[in-house]
Amino acid sequence: MIKAFRYVSFFLIIFIQLSFLLAIFYEEIDTFWIVLFIAVISILISIGYYHVPRAEENHFIEDCFLIVFVVAGALSTYFCSTQLNFGPVIAASGVGFFASFLPIFNRKSPILKELPEAVYCGAFVGMTAPKVAAGIPFILFAGFLTGVILLLSKNVFNGFGGKLGTIAFGGVALTSLLIFLIF
């Protein structure tokens, strides 16, 4: 079961990255150099996928609390960014910086140890611009979806820069797609 989740999350992350590149490709299809640049990058990242580190951790149900932290990070960042007008960069980094000190309260706690990553992942969801996020319910749902993807992808792309952001992008893009399809 854990193996199946690992495969699903691995291919989901690949799908998110390729969709992102494809969007640039379609918009700049008339510019030869950019198309060539995207093609070379796509080939290189395909090689990179074979060398992605994998971990074998069997904790799963125990980690469901991660979803709550992701949602909390998303809501607090969105609030600081849009309501307090700090902008997405200060809001996300402020929330992430604050969260990084929380494990100090109990260094032995496995829950607190995983908290900064989950909150920072949620903070990326909260960076969504108000023109994309249709209010707090959008951020709540996108945060929940991101938390689920984070949980599924616990054993892939570990120690990889940009993993948390890719997961957050997946959650936000999936929420936008669902809203587009339903409404």
Partner 1 sequence: MYTFTLIITGILGAISTFYLNNILKLGAVRSSAGLSLVVGLIFYVFPNIAPAFLAKNIPIVFIGATFIGMVSNEVIAHYFLLALAGALFAIIYVNSSAFFNGYGGALGTTASITVLVAVSLAVVSRNKHIEKIKRKVRRR
Give the interface with partner 1 as residue ranges (CB under 8 A). 13, 16-17, 20-21, 23-24, 26-28, 34, 37, 41, 44-53, 74, 86-90, 92-97, 99-101, 116-117, 120, 124-129, 131-133, 142, 146, 157-173, 176
Least distance in Å: CB of 168 to partner 1? 3
Q: How far is the CB of 109 from partner 1 (least distance, A)?
A: 16
Minimum distance between the CB of residue 26 and partner 1, rounded to whole angstroms? Answer: 8
- Residue closer to partner 1 by CB (options 6, 142) is 142
Amino acid at 51: H
Residue 33 or 61 having the CB closest to partner 1? 33
Residue number, 1 or 75, with CB nearest to partner 1: 75
Contact yes or no for 170/146 (Cβ under 8 A): yes
Written as six digits, the tokens of 165 are: 């952001």
- Spatial distance between the Cα atoms of 88 and 80, rounded to a whole number of angstroms: 8
Q: Is the Cβ of residue 120 or residue 144 nearer to partner 1 in the bound state?
A: 120
127, 77 Cβ separation under 8 angstroms = yes
Residue 30, Ramachandran bin (φ over 0: left; ψ between -120 and 50: alpha; else beta): alpha
Which tokens go with 129? 């611009």
CA dist 29 and 48 (Å) reads 25
Q: What six digits make up the tokens of 175?
A: 């929420």
Identify which of residues 87 and 137 has a Cβ nearer to partner 1 in the complex.
87
